[in-house]
Structure 1
Amino acid sequence: MDARELAYFVAVAEELNFSRAAERLGIAQPPLSRAVKQLERRLGVVLLERTSRRVTLTAAGQVLLEEGRRALDGLAAAARRAQRAGRQDPRLVLVAKAVGDGGMMPDILAAYEREPDAIPVEVLFCGFGEHAALLRGGFADVGLLHGRPDLTGLDSEDLLVESQIAVLPARHRLAGKEAVTLADLEGEVLPRWAGLPQGGGPEVRDAGQLMQLIVMGRTIAVLPESARAYLGGDVVCVPVLDAPPITMMIAWPEQSRSPALAAFVRAATDVAARRGERWEPGRLPADLETVRNP
């Protein structure tokens, strides 16, 4: 399949209008129509039903739209990774939240520096829920994630399991409690993480914004225990006894074979092992083990 034809088809399938798709692509409508027809001939299926009033997707067109988006995203990601790998000063890009490293990042970076395959690390801080997209899109090589995000196209390894705490304004009704339960938090305004439907409170994109809203009394938050180390004196942290444990993991694009990436994963799992977690020092996931022991 020709990538240009695929990109043209995706634009039409998303717009369901040839004129708007042509305008979006910055081309005239006739070559766009010819490209889509050529794609249909190439595949031997009808992708779009066209009438004088509207354009609709066939079952084949719906499948190609979903798969085509992923294919085009994959091509763009491959280009970004190749460009970064070809730099004269290659770097490993690590993506993390400002308070989402479980307190382990300094130890991981120090352990990684001692690895023979280590290269300089560039840390990219992102908003809530953006890690996986940055990894899939080729903007980052490895990430530290909390919870269970969509890991499509990624490999991962659990590092740390943490209890959760309620982060409250200093004058909150529960601020003097030694511990609370989820029932105690019923009716509280919880933040709505950007891009996610949960939570009815203000939309939050990063840790700094969240802390400011908590101090102002506009919301509270339930966060991993390790977030305590990053919080100022204007908020109070109270253990939530019945909140489910939350897992911090390391993730990277699947089927990666980079020695520098393998070294970073090894350093992270070694640090987790030294903290009493269940990993054996030096053990790597199977797909990266071949890099260390070809």
Structure 2
Amino acid sequence: MQPPETRELAYFVAVAEERHFGRAAQRLGMAQPPLSRAIQQLERRLGVPLLERTSRGVTLTAAGAVFLVESHKALDAVAAAVRRAQRAGEAVPKLLVATKPDGDAGLLERILPRYRQDPDAVEVEVVVCGIGEQTPMLRDGRVDLAFVHPAHDDLAGFDTELLLTQDQVAVLHRGHRLAGRSALVLADLDGEPLPRWPGTDKATSGPEVRDSGQLMALIALGQAVAVLPASVRRHAWADVVCVPVLDAPQSSIMLAWPDRTRSRAVAAFVRASTEAVSAQIPGGPAAHLGGAGGS
């Protein structure tokens, strides 16, 4: 069987996401009849139906749901290949490193000077992104490395290095009923307005938040309570206190990069990262940052 072309994958993704041939055709900037024919030809070549067609639109078959996930991966891989090839051809090589705000727990301050001393080092651009954006940016080639969190990020297809584990703390308004406690357990926070993070369906009573700055502002106003890694103390606001949560799961920080990468600059950055952690925290890579202590 001849493998599907990138164009056909893009056609299928548009129809699968819009759930309607007309809207998909409009999104793609083409007429509907050739789009319908292209999907039918794709289904014949694959030998399985991908879509259930009704008068209202389309729904995915079981095969279609699988093919949608794999099509996204394939299109991301193509986009990544193009972006990385273009960067490799630039006159001044550059390494792009993604992190959400404070997603590196302050490690970059120590990693970057050490990296610059490596003979394989190139210019580094730190890309500060939104919550949950690190792995998509890494997957489609917009960045070369990313600081990620295994409890929340999909790490399939990446090589990783565990840098740090942290206890977690409850971040509260200074006037909160629990602010004076020396420690808490998760049950103490039952009924509190915990935030809803982008891309998660976990039901909470708190506001939906887009980034750490917005969250900290809401906590300072008494509108939210959050359980966050202990390194949040570095940027806690004046009206906010941090109380250790004894039974909260530890939070880990990993450095991730695409598997099979052969970049000497990437290898040098990983090396500098592990060395910087070893120098900063006794115990070396995967060292532990505790949550005990005041706000």
Change in 2 beyond 3 A, CA 1:162/1:32: same
* Superposition deviation, residue 51 in structure 1: 6.7
Amino acid at match of 2:257: W
Work out which of the residue numbers 185, 190, 196 in structure 2 matches 1:192: 196
* Superposition deviation, residue 60 in structure 1: 4.1
Residues 129-140 of structure 1: pairs in structure 2 closer than 5 A = 129-140=132-143
Which of 262-271 and 69-78 deviates more?
69-78
Work out which of the residue numbers 172, 185, 194 in structure 2 matches 1:168: 172
Q: Distance in 1 between matches of 2:205 and 2:150?
A: 20
Work out which of the residue numbers 210, 214, 236 in structure 2 matches 1:231: 236
- Tell me whether 1:35 sits opposite 2:48 in the alignment: no
Structure 2 stretches lacking a partner, 5+ long = 287-295
- Tell me whether 1:10 sits opposite 2:13 in the alignment: yes
Q: Is the 8 A contact 2:191 2:205 kept in 1?
A: no
* Superposition deviation, residue 62 in structure 1: 3.9
Which of 159-168 and 77-86 deviates more?
77-86
Structure 1 partner of 2:293: none
Identity of aligned residues (%): 57
Change in 2 beyond 3 A, CA 1:49/1:227: closer
Q: Is the 8 A contact 1:204 1:210 kept in 2?
A: yes
Which of 55-64 and 24-33 deviates more?
55-64
* Superposition deviation, residue 55 in structure 1: 4.6
* Superposition deviation, residue 2 in structure 1: 1.6
Change in 2 beyond 3 A, CA 1:48/1:266: same
Q: Is the 8 A contact 1:91 1:122 kept in 2?
A: yes
Change in 2 beyond 3 A, CA 1:45/1:264: same
Q: Distance in 2 between matches of 1:61 and 1:151?
A: 23
Structure 2 partner of 1:73: 76
Which of 48-57 and 260-269 deviates more?
48-57
Work out which of the residue numbers 87, 90, 96 in structure 2 matches 1:87: 90
- Tell me whether 1:249 sits opposite 2:254 in the alignment: yes
Q: Is the 8 A contact 1:191 1:202 kept in 2?
A: yes
Structure 2 partner of 1:118: 121
Q: Distance in 2 between matches of 1:186 and 1:53?
A: 43
Q: Distance in 2 between matches of 1:2 and 1:157?
A: 35
Q: Is the 8 A contact 1:146 1:247 kept in 2?
A: yes
* Superposition deviation, residue 113 in structure 1: 0.9
Name the TM-score, length of structure 2 as normaliser: 0.86
- Tell me whether 1:145 sits opposite 2:148 in the alignment: yes
Change in 2 beyond 3 A, CA 1:245/1:12: closer
Name the TM-score, length of structure 1 as normaliser: 0.86
Q: Is the 8 A contact 2:159 2:256 kept in 1?
A: yes
Q: Distance in 2 between matches of 1:47 and 1:98?
A: 40
Q: Is the 8 A contact 1:154 1:251 kept in 2?
A: yes
Q: What are the superposed Cα offsets for residues 17-48 of structure 1, whole Å, 9 maximum, x if unpaired?
A: 33232222111123223323433444455444
Q: Distance in 2 between matches of 1:50 and 1:229?
A: 54
Change in 2 beyond 3 A, CA 1:88/1:32: same
Amino acid at match of 1:267: A
Q: Distance in 2 between matches of 1:224 and 1:195?
A: 19
Structure 1 partner of 2:224: 219
Which of 104-113 and 22-31 deviates more?
22-31
| Total equivalences in the alignment | 280
Q: Is the 8 A contact 1:90 1:120 kept in 2?
A: yes
Amino acid at match of 2:80: A
Change in 2 beyond 3 A, CA 1:246/1:49: closer
Q: Distance in 1 between matches of 2:73 and 2:214?
A: 32
- Tell me whether 1:205 sits opposite 2:210 in the alignment: yes
* Superposition deviation, residue 52 in structure 1: 6.8
Structure 1 stretches lacking a partner, 5+ long = 281-294
Q: Secondary structure of 1:204's match?
A: coil
CA RMSD of aligned residues (A): 2.3
